[in-house]
C-alpha cells in the first residue's frame, strides 16, 4: 500500500501450496478404498507409455500392445492378450494332441521326425510316392486282367485235352473208314484184278488167265455203286481235313495254356517292381512326413504366439510393470522419508508397498498420538517437497513433546519454502520466542494477533 494515497499493490508471484503441504488434507485421512489410487497418483507411480515401450524392449508387437493399452487400458489389454494366448495354447494342443507346457513346447517335434530338411524335399518325395502308387494301381489292374484271362485259359485246359482225345479217336476211326472206301473205289480203276460179276470175288490175272481169288473184299453182295463211294470218300476226306485242323487248334490251345501257367502275373511289371501294399505304405509315410513338417512348424508358430503374449501379460499385470513402477516410487519416497526422519532426529518413517505407514517398523495404528503426529508431519513435508509447494503448515504441534517440537522446527528450517507451526499453550512464555529475519513467533488469542 502506498502512502499517503492509501492504494494497495502487489509484486512478485503469490505463494503456492498443495492441500497436503498445508495440512488441509492428510494422507492418513484418505479412505481405504481410495488409498491406492491416491498414492499412485501422488507418487506418479503409474507407468507411462514410454515406460511400457522401454519394458517391451522392441517386441515385434510393441505398437499393437501400446495401441490396445491406449484403447482399453492396462487391465483390459492384459485380459485381451491373455485370452488370445489361451487360444493359441489350444491350437498348439490341437496340432500336437498333447497338453501345452512351455518347456515341452520348446522341444516338441512329431515322433520320428528329423529336422533339417526343407518343405520342398518332403513335397517332392510325396509327389514321387503318388506317381509310384498310381503306377502300381495300373500294373495291378493289368495283372488282374491278365490273371483273369489266363485263368480262363488254364480252366479250359482239361476241356481242350478231353476234346483232343475225342478228336484223335474220331480221326483214327475216320481213317479206317476212308481206307475201306478207298479200297472199293480203287477197284474201278485198278490196272489188274476185277470183281467177279457173280460172286464179287476178285479176279486175278495169272499165266494169261483170270483166276478167282480166295479173298472176298468187304463190299456189298451186289455190284458196288462206285460213284456213290467216290462221293463218300470225298466227304470223308473233307471231314478228315476239318478234324485235323480242329486237332491242330486244340494242340495250340493246350500249348498256350501250358505256357501261361508259369508266366502268370509277370507280364507288364517294371524292372524295379514293388507291390501295391509297399507303394501304399510309402505314400502314407511320405504324407505323414509332410504333415509332421507342417505340424512342427505350425506348433512352433503357435508356441511363439503364446510366448510373446505371456511376456506381455507379465508386464501388464498389476504385479508387473505397474508394481515395479510403484515399488520404485515407494522406494524413492522412503529415501526422502528416511532423510527427513534423520533431520528431525526422530524414528524412521516409512510406507510399505501397500501404502501403509510405519514408525520404526511399528504399524501406525499402535503408535502413540505424538508418534502418529511425527508420521503425519514427515509425510506432509515429503509431499510438499515432491509437489514443489512453497508453504507448509503444521497445526496442533502441542501434541509433540519438547524434543518432538524441536525436530519439527528442524524440518521447517530444512524446508526451502515458508513454514508455519501452530500449537496451543496456556501461557505466552511457553512458546519459543523467535525473532530473526527468517523466524518469528506470534501469539494469537481469541483470533486476535497480540
Give the count of domains, the chain. 3
Considering only CA atoms, give the Rg of the chain.
63
Count CB-CB contacts under 10 A for residue 108. 19
Inside any domain, residue 235: yes
Count CB-CB contacts under 10 A for residue 246. 15
Give the mean pLDDT of the chain: 84
Q: Are 226 and 305 in a shared domain?
A: no
The pLDDT value given to residue 230: 74
Q: Are 141 and 289 in a shared domain?
A: yes
The pLDDT value given to residue 204: 64
pLDDT digits (tens, 9 = 90+) for 355-381: 999 999 999 999 999 999 999 999 999
Q: Are 143 and 173 in a shared domain?
A: no
**Residue for cell digits 467177279?**
196
Q: Are 348 and 444 in a shared domain?
A: yes
The pLDDT value given to residue 447: 82
Inside any domain, residue 281: yes
Inside any domain, residue 371: yes
Rounded to an integer, what distance in angstroms lies between the CA atom of residue 350 and that of residue 151?
Answer: 103
Note down the domain range covering 185: 156-263
Rounded to an integer, what distance in angstroms lies between the CA atom of residue 77 and that of residue 66?
Answer: 9
> In CATH, what number is assigned to the domain containing residue 33?
3.40.50
Q: Are 324 and 440 in a shared domain?
A: yes
Q: Which of 34-48, 99-113, 141-155, 409-423 has the lowest mean pLDDT?
A: 141-155
Q: Are 39 and 174 in a shared domain?
A: no
The pLDDT value given to residue 147: 73
Are 380 and 23 in contact by the 8 Å Cβ rule? The answer is yes
Q: Are 36 and 185 in a shared domain?
A: no
pLDDT digits (tens, 9 = 90+) for 324-344: 999 999 999 999 999 999 999
Inside any domain, residue 19: no
415 Rama class: left (phi>0) / alpha (psi -120 to 50) / beta: beta
Please give the C-alpha separations between residue 278 and each of 123, 182, 273, 284, 368, in angstroms, as whole numbers.
Answer: 19, 69, 10, 10, 92
With a CB cutoff of 8 Å and minimum separation 6, the contacts of 374 are 344, 346, 347, 349, 359, 400, 404, 407
Q: Are 148 and 297 in a shared domain?
A: yes
The pLDDT value given to residue 445: 84
φ, ψ of residue 211 to 5 degrees: the values are -125, 150
Q: Are 193 and 105 in a shared domain?
A: no
Inside any domain, residue 370: yes
Q: Are 127 and 214 in a shared domain?
A: no
**Residue for cell digits 500336437?**
96
Q: Which of 259-268, 285-294, 386-395, 396-405 has the lowest mean pLDDT?
A: 259-268
Q: Are 379 and 412 in a shared domain?
A: yes
Q: Which of 13-17, 233-237, 412-416, 431-435 has the lowest mean pLDDT?
A: 431-435
**Helix, strand, or coil (residue 196):** coil
Q: Are 246 and 332 in a shared domain?
A: no
Rounded to an integer, what distance in angstroms lies between the CA atom of residue 373 and that of residue 210?
Answer: 183
Inside any domain, residue 17: no
Inside any domain, residue 366: yes
How many residues does the structure list for the chain?
A: 450
Final residue in a domain of this structure, among 263, 288, 308 = 263
Inside any domain, residue 63: yes
Greater model confidence, 213 or 176? 176
The pLDDT value given to residue 267: 46
Final residue in a domain of this structure, among 231, 263, 295 = 263
Report the predicted TM-score, pTM, of the whole model to 2 decimal places: 0.60
What is the crossing angle of helices 226-263 and 157-189, to 10°? Answer: 160
175: nearest Cα among 167, 186, 163, 185: 167
Are 135 and 200 in contact by the 8 Å Cβ rule? The answer is no
Confidence bin at 223 (pLDDT 50/70/90): low
Amino acid at each position: 500500500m502506498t502512502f499517503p494515497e492509501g492504494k494497495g499493490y502487489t509484486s512478485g508471484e503469490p505463494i503456492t501450496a498443495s492441500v497436503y503441504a498445508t495440512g488441509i488434507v492428510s494422507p492418513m485421512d484418505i479412505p481405504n478404498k481410495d488409498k491406492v489410487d491416491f498414492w499412485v497418483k501422488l507418487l506418479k507411480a503409474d507407468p507411462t507409455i514410454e515406460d511400457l515401450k522401454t519394458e517391451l524392449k522392441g517386441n515385434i508387437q510393441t505398437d499393437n500392445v501400446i495401441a490396445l493399452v491406449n484403447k482399453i487400458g492396462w487391465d483390459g489389454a492384459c485380459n485381451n492378450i491373455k485370452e488370445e494366448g489361451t487360444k493359441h495354447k489350444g491350437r498348439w494342443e490341437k496340432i500336437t494332441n498333447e497338453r501345452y507346457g512351455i518347456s515341452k513346447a520348446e522341444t516338441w517335434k512329431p515322433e520320428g521326425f528329423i529336422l533339417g530338411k526343407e518343405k520342398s524335399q518332403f513335397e517332392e518325395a510325396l509327389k514321387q510316392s503318388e506317381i509310384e502308387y498310381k503306377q502300381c494301381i495300373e500294373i495291378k489292374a493289368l495283372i488282374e486282367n491278365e490273371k483273369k484271362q489266363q485263368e480262363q485259359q488254364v480252366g479250359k485246359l482239361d476241356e481242350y485235352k478231353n476234346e483232343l482225345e475225342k478228336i484223335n479217336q474220331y480221326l483214327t476211326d475216320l481213317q479206317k473208314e476212308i481206307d475201306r472206301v478207298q479200297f472199293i473205289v480203287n477197284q474201278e480203276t485198278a490196272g489188274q484184278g476185277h470183281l467177279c460179276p457173280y460172286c464179287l470175288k476178285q479176279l486175278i490175272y495169272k499165266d494169261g488167265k483170270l483166276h478167282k481169288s480166295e479173298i472176298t473184299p468187304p463190299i456189298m453182295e451186289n455190284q458196288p455203286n462206285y460213284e456213290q463211294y467216290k462221293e463218300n470218300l470225298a466227304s470223308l476226306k473233307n471231314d478228315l481235313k476239318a478234324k485235323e485242323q480242329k486237332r491242330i487248334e486244340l494242340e495250340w490251345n493246350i500249348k498256350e495254356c501250358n505256357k501261361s501257367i508259369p508266366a502268370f502275373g509277370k507280364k507288364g511289371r517294371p524292372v524295379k517292381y514293388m507291390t501295391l501294399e509297399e507303394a501304399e505304405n510309402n505314400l502314407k509315410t511320405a504324407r505323414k512326413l509332410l504333415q509332421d513338417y507342417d505340424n512342427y512348424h505350425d506348433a512352433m508358430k503357435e508356441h511363439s504366439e503364446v510366448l510373446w503374449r505371456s511376456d506381455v501379460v507379465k508386464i501388464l499385470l498389476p504385479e508387473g510393470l505397474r508394481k515395479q513402477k510403484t515399488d520404485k516410487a515407494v522406494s524413492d519416497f522412503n529415501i526422502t522419508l528416511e532423510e527427513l526422519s534423520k533431520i528431525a532426529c526422530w524414528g524412521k518413517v516409512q510406507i510399505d508397498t501397500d501404502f501403509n505407514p510405519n514408525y520404526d517398523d511399528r504399524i501406525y495404528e499402535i503408535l502413540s498420538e505424538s508418534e502418529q503426529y511425527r508420521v503425519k508431519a514427515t509425510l506432509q513435508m515429503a509431499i510438499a517437497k515432491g509437489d514443489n509447494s512453497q508453504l507448509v503448515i503444521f497445526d496442533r504441534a502441542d501434541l509433540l513433546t519438547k524434543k518432538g517440537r524441536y525436530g519439527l522446527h528442524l524440518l521447517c528450517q530444512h524446508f526451502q519454502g515458508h513454514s508455519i507451526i501452530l500449537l496451543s499453550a496456556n501461557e505466552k512464555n511457553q512458546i519459543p520466542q523467535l525473532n530473526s529475519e527468517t523466524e518469528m513467533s506470534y501469539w494469537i488469542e481469541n483470533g486476535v494477533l497480540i
